[in-house]
Amino acid sequence: MKALKVIKRASGQSQPGPTPTFSHVHVVRAIFVIAESPGIGRKRLAEALGVGEGVARTLLSRLRSEGLIETNRTGCFLTKKAQTLQRELELSISRPQQLNIKNTWPYLFSVGVIVKSAANLVRRGLEQRDEAVRAGAGGAITLVYHGGRLLMPGISDVSAEHSDFAKKVIEEMKPAEGDVIIISGAESLQAAENGAIAAALATLEQQKPEKTG
């Protein structure tokens, strides 16, 4: 997936020098936020991402150097290159969506992301949970939508064992057959979004490169 290479390069994580204070997850979230709010200012972007203004300034500088944003006195806008990247991303993952499932587990905020047609990329969901926690979430669950039911791969039929929860998630997320739903929980909305996006990107990285020639 070309978009992942561009995102990692924009994060600076693979570049020599000091470790950046943001990750590829913040790059993806920034692209989504700017797409939803063209002309957003640095201060509002920093609040949306849950980072300081200094971090936001550095992030925007990286995005500008990669040709992903342009700025003027009114705020930040995605370039055509970034809009193409955004469309490629959204062919594979949904934008993070806040869910109201506080009664089902101990986290104040829950965010869901769909990884489209990715059921074959999930084993038991442990890799996704670990990525979410590394990104700052408290925990995460990974579900597969198959035959109108939510399944926790290799563990349980969630629709059978927790029907109300499964019905609510299906109604809110609206998955298609073979989709993966990752739900991340945390004590802040930003941390929950970071966890969901991190787990989704880690799932996409399980794809085998397409053979050429």
Q: List the strands of the sheet with 149-152, edge to edge.
A: 97-99, 109-115, 180-186, 139-146, 149-152, 156-157
pLDDT value at residue 86? 94
**pLDDT tens per residue, range 24-35:** 999 999 999 999
Residue 99's DSSP bridge partners are: 110
Which residues are within 8 A (CB) of 141 and not within 5 positions of it... i.e. 6 or more apart? 125, 129, 152, 182, 183
73-88 average pLDDT score: 94
- Take residue 25 and report the two structure tokens written for it: 């997850």
Question: What is the dihedral sign for C-alpha 58, 59, 64, 70?
Answer: negative
- Take residue 17 and report the two structure tokens written for it: 């020098």
pLDDT value at 19 more than 70: no
Are the CB atoms for 123 and 60 separated by under 8 Å?
Answer: no
DSSP string, 124-165: SSHHHHHHHHHTT-SEEEEEEEETTEEEETTTEEHHHHSHHH
**pLDDT tens per residue, range 164-190:** 999 999 999 999 999 999 999 999 999
The pTM of this model reads: 0.90
Domains 2-90 and 93-204 share a fold: no
- Residue 208: pLDDT band (50, 70, 90) is low
pLDDT value at 2 more than 90: no
If you ran DSSP here, which 8-state letter would residue 74 be given? T
Domain range 93-204, CATH architecture: 2-Layer Sandwich (3.30)
pLDDT value at residue 88? 93
pLDDT value at residue 46? 95
**pLDDT tens per residue, range 97-145:** 999 988 888 999 999 999 999 999 998 899 999 999 999 999 999 999 9
- Residue 213: pLDDT band (50, 70, 90) is very low
- Take residue 67 and report the two structure tokens written for it: 């040709």
Helices 42-49 and 24-36 meet at what angle, rounded to 10? 120
- The domain limits of the chain are 2-90, 93-204
Rounded-to-integer distance, Cα 93 and Cα 201, Å: 8
- Take residue 75 and report the two structure tokens written for it: 């705020």
Which class is domain 2-90? mainly alpha
**pLDDT tens per residue, range 43-62:** 999 999 999 999 999 999 99
The CA-based diameter of the chain, rounded to the nearest angstrom, is 54
**pLDDT tens per residue, range 143-159:** 999 999 999 998 999 99
pLDDT value at residue 69? 96
- Residue 207: pLDDT band (50, 70, 90) is confident
pLDDT value at residue 92? 95
